[in-house]
């Protein structure tokens, strides 16, 4: 399977981050996390790109995203996969992201309002899983919902210290973990909240 790395970088560079924001639009060009309300943030662009590239997306894959937020990351995932199943627990963010992504004419995104900490079992398994909030530990439900040969990117740790991890499930179903970066995300609410 051919890597889409170049195409993802090119697409990402032409994305208008301000479209996914309701306020602070003038700050959208800066490489920093910005508030989007409800104690949530839109991640810094370089980190969004790093996390997306780490997933090694392919056009025929099904992706689970925990934390729709503004929809910025969702749009990037949807442009390079067959389908995205995205979960957001805050109703207003969920509604706004749904509206924005509809305006961009995405037809392959499935939205759910609710607690994403235990994944979305109904449509599992997933080839790729993107978690955009920090869990105290890697949720076992997400490991179970990850397809053989699948990859997950997840921040893990406390509210003060987190590691961005790449989790891979090999052909025997064995889990391998790679540390990608030190990060600071809002906490994943629900079962795996610290």
Which among 18, 23, 43, 158 is annotated as catalytic? Answer: 43
Listed in sequence order, the residues at least 6 apart from 51 whose beta carbon sits closer than 8 Å to its beta carbon are 43, 73, 130, 132, 153, 164, 180
Closest CA to 188 of 137, 129, 127, 148: 137
* Element of type H or E holding 143: helix 140-145
Please say if 43 is a catalytic residue. Answer: yes
Task: State both tokens at 101.
Answer: 């992504």
Catalytic residue numbers, as ranges: 43
């Amino acid at each position: 399977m051919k890597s889409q790395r170049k195409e993802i970088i090119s697409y990402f560079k032409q994305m208008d981050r301000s479209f996914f924001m309701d306020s602070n639009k003038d700050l959208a060009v800066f490489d920093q996390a910005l508030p989007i309300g409800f104690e949530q943030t839109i991640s810094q662009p370089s980190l969004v790109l790093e996390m997306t590239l780490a997933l090694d997306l392919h056009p025929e894959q099904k992706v689970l995203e925990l934390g729709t937020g503004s929809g910025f990351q969702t749009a990037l995932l949807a442009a390079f996969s067959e389908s995205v199943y995205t979960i957001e627990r805050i109703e207003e963010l969920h509604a706004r992201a749904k509206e924005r992504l509809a305006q961009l004419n995405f037809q392959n995104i499935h939205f759910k309002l609710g607690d994403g900490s235990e994944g979305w079992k109904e449509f599992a398994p997933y080839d790729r899983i993107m978690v955009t909030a920090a869990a105290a530990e890697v949720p076992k439900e997400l490991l179970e919902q990850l397809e053989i040969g699948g990859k997950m990117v997840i921040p893990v740790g406390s509210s003060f210290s987190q590691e961005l991890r790449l989790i891979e499930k090999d052909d025997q179903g064995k889990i391998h973990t790679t540390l990608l970066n030190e990060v600071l995300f809002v906490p994943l609410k629900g079962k795996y909240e610290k």
